[in-house]
Amino acid sequence: MFPEGKIATLKQEYINLKKDIYDPAKISDQRYYSKISRRFNELQTILDLYDMIKSNEAIIAENQELIRTTDDDDELILLAEEEIAEAKQDIEKKILKLRELLIPKDPNDVKDAIIEIRAGTGGEEAALFVADLYRMYTYFADKKKWKLTVMSSNPTGVGGLKEVIFSLSGENVYGTMRFESGVHRVQRVPETESQGRVHTSAISVAVLPEVDDIDVKIDPADLKIDVYRSSGHGGQSVNTTDSAVRITHEPTGLVVTCQDEKSQLKNKNKALKVLRSRLYDAELAKHEAEISAKRKSQVGSGDRSAKIRTYNFPQSRVTDHRINLTSFRLNNILLGELDEFINALKLAYRNEKVEN
């Protein structure tokens, strides 16, 4: 069922933590005590489940022995067989739960997130769809009571967005939004299409865990920082000061710009926050790619260029290609009702982890 060595290791960790839990010197350090208490409770749940599984196995063995040694007592044999069936059913449930608990938790799941949406193929129609998805995530964030802060945007003259970058703050943001990364495709008749033909456009969504200085160290000597005057539609000046900021991370060539704030300092801080998350995400993607090379993961793939979802307006259909889930509630989904897809993706990802 499970390697006994793994359970033995967890038992020893549990015993060691139990000593710390009751150590007055450890209790005084609230941060550390909170961390070990959480781990202690996790281990206790795992070991309790394991003990219940072993108890059920003992019940099965006892009843099998009873059946083997009992003659001409059909009622007793029937009761023993019923106990065996109940114990086996209970074991199956507890094994599934135990496997879930043994899946290593991703520490990034509890982090806030930075979302980047960019127009791809499709010209102005793609830019309009960027605006549609931005509104969809705005509605979704509102339902979750998350805080949304726009960090950078590049609007077009007809209501579209070539690019928008925003942060989401709240409970388990990255763990909820992480599966939105990838290429989103839209199929609909553009307003400018006189023949009524359906066009296909594509945009990319990147979901990055928001990190701080502790997670990513940036050497100031590696940065080239340019300031310039912010501009709006058609190039007109938004303000008369050089408040817009462009930061180039020379070792990687990553470039981040921010001009939404009137303050140069605020734009710089926002740009640095995005840069940290991009650098962190690059390492994360590299790590996921290494894992995928050994074991292909459909849902948790590190490939940010994969087509993940299609929004078909004529059929009011949304299809997630990773889990073959289709909904004909496109209007509701664009109003932020994403839970059906996100919960299904989480479940598929968890099941992959359990199997592996």
pLDDT digits (tens, 9 = 90+) for 308-338: 999 999 999 999 999 999 999 999 999 999 9
As for how many domains the chain has, the answer is 2
- pLDDT over 90, % of the chain: 44
Q: What is the pLDDT of residue 21?
A: 86
Does one domain contain both 122 and 37? no
Does one domain contain both 173 and 90? no
DSSP string, 219-285: -GGGEEEEEE--B-GGG-BS-SS--EEEEEETTTTEEEEE-SSS-HHHHHHHHHHHHHHHHHHHHHH
Q: What is the pLDDT of residue 185?
A: 95
Q: Which two tokens stand for residue 299?
A: 């849902």
Does one domain contain both 143 and 290? yes
Does one domain contain both 115 and 71? no
292 pLDDT tier (thresholds 50, 70, 90): low
Please state, in angstroms and rounded to a whole number, the distance separating the CA atoms of residues 65 and 110.
49
Does one domain contain both 72 and 122? no
Does one domain contain both 146 and 275? yes
Does one domain contain both 83 and 128? no
Average pLDDT of the segment spanning 140-155: 93
Does one domain contain both 205 and 322? yes
Q: What is the pLDDT of residue 241?
A: 63
Which position has the higher pLDDT, 105 or 206?
206
Name which of 153-162, 236-245, 279-288, 309-318 the model is least confident about. 236-245
Q: Which two tokens stand for residue 32?
A: 């550390």
Bridge-based pairing of strands 113-119 and 199-209 is antiparallel
Q: What is the pLDDT of residue 44?
A: 93
CATH number for position 163: 3.30.70.1660
Phi and psi at 256, nearest 5°, equal: -125, 130
| Residue-range definition of the domain harbouring residue 344 | 107-355
Does one domain contain both 183 and 91? no
Does one domain contain both 91 and 228? no
